[in-house]
Structure 1
């Protein structure tokens, strides 16, 4: 399940769009201002951002540029501004799409899905050469970007999915925090940056506890993480 962030100061618009997205099985978080977005843990928490160009507390162009400097999250801009210059500048600042209001809901959904497909393709690693991997009670369907445990979807975010994929692909070898940051977050790991640890913690909770060992994902202090497979078990690819 994809997690979307909707940023729009208008209550009615937010309510309408959020319901449309949830009806299509997206999870949707709503913010009314740039300040509310700034208060969130943005790095990798959301798969796509939809924003109104005119925000009450920030210049829309500056807001886009700021987001893009911190994240590779796909950005869809919704605006009543019909001037082509506004569209060009928004795209140059880092937006991935620009739609004029009034918005046709089916078109918005189609554009969102298109961006998510492209984003998924960008981040998919070598595990994706196979359609399905089964291991340790967990199934990874790479064609659908779904992870299930005991038949139940775990609802991983894009970043959580990529991290898990990297760890499984490493087959028990340690994956460095630097490499995870580059591949999953699209940025170099900065000193004192704990964002990877936050995502690992959330991923551990979603994967659940295992009775015969302490953690599915093991920390190698100062280095990175590896996935602890049960003895005599490995990830099995299925056609």
Structure 2
């Protein structure tokens, strides 16, 4: 894969480990930012769009679990946890707050690089492909042509109402970002509708049903995030 201009945040309270990881990752043409505490890591992660974060579990000021938990409320940046603790409970805790991978110290820097590349390959493939037509959004199993106001699922047309289309487009334009019902009601319906939040739920339900008629995978890309709202899951894969 082409690593040019890919940005990685390395977070570890040990200078030696940060220097080692920085050296190996820069050899692969990654751009590295580093910090040694959790508070700075969270600030940097929220203020910048990193392609991946290498995050130590045991950090001063704010531990890695809390950093990952707070970050996941706002962003879906891939996270690889680094820790000296190899117990299963720590691994499970890391995955529960949204870590994508987990490696136990002491580790081989080369293995870290290989895992980083593997995670980035998955996440880059899941992103919509950039086309010459800026109005064209393409995911696996789903294509939205905003110029033609057309939706294809597995190559077959999906007939949507104007508001169903607007809702799908709004979610798909910001994949993996969570939107509350109030925000969707405000941004998609704008000033045309003042009413109850169940309107959003109803439209999501109908949208899923219509997509499912052509592709079950496409319908499952619209995910309910319990207690928060909805998101378009660009990482959904058919497990069957």
In the superposition, relative to structure 1, how do residues 186 and 122 fare at CA in structure 2: closer, same or farther (>3 Å)?
A: farther
Aligned 8 A contact 1:76 1:95 in 2 = yes
Tell me the secondary structure at the aligned position of residue 41 of structure 2: helix
1:83 equivalent in structure 2: 87
1:32 counterpart residue number: 36
Counterparts of residues 148-227 of structure 1 (less than 5 Å): 179=170, 182-184=173-175, 186-188=177-179
Give the Cα separation in 2 of the matches to 1:103 and 1:35: 25
**Does residue 23 in structure 1 map to residue 14 in structure 2?**
no
CA distance in 2, matches of 1:54, 1:4: 19
* Residues paired across the two proteins, number: 157
SS at 1:98's partner residue?
A: strand
Inter-CA distance 70–55: structure 2 relative to 1 (3 Å threshold)? same
Rg larger in structure: 2
Kept after mapping to 2: 8 A contact 1:181/1:187: no
1:13 to 17, 25, 31: 17
Q: How big is the alpha-carbon RMSD for the aligned residues of Structure 1 and Structure 2? A: 3.3
Secondary structure in structure 2 of the residue aligned to 1:9: coil
**What per-residue deviation string (whole Å, max 9, x for no partner) do you get for residues 47-76 of structure 1?**
100011100111332222111111111100
Q: Secondary structure at the match of 2:174?
A: helix
Q: Distance in 1 between matches of 2:82 and 2:45?
A: 23
Cα distance between partner residues in 2 of 1:13 and 1:111: 17
Normalised TM-score (structure 1): 0.55
Check conservation: 2:24, 2:110, Cα contact below 8 A.
Answer: no
Q: Which has the higher relative contact order, 1 or 2, with Cα contacts under 8 A spaced 6 or more apart?
A: 1
- 1:53 has 2:57 as partner: yes
Distance, in Å, in 2 between the alignment partners of 1:47 and 1:24 is 14
Relative to structure 2, which stretch is displaced further, 35-44 or 90-99? 35-44
Q: List structure 1 segments (4+ residues) > 4 angstroms apart after TM superposition.
A: 163-166, 169-173
Structure 1 residues 48, 164: closer, same or farther in 2, change over 3 A? farther
Structure 2: give runs of 5+ residues left out of the alignment: 138-144, 150-165, 184-240
Q: 1:87–1:98: 8 Å Cα contact kept in structure 2? A: yes
Q: Give me the TM-score of the superposition, normalised by structure 2.
A: 0.55
2: CA distance, partners of 1:164 / 1:20: 39
- Call closer, same or farther: CA 1:35–1:164 in 2, change over 3 Å: farther
- Provide structure 1 residue ranges, at least 5 long, that are not aligned to the other structure: 128-132, 136-162, 192-239
Give, in angstroms, the shift of residue 41 of structure 1.
5.9
Structure 1's 58 and 124: CA in aligned 2 closer, same or farther, altered over 3 A? same
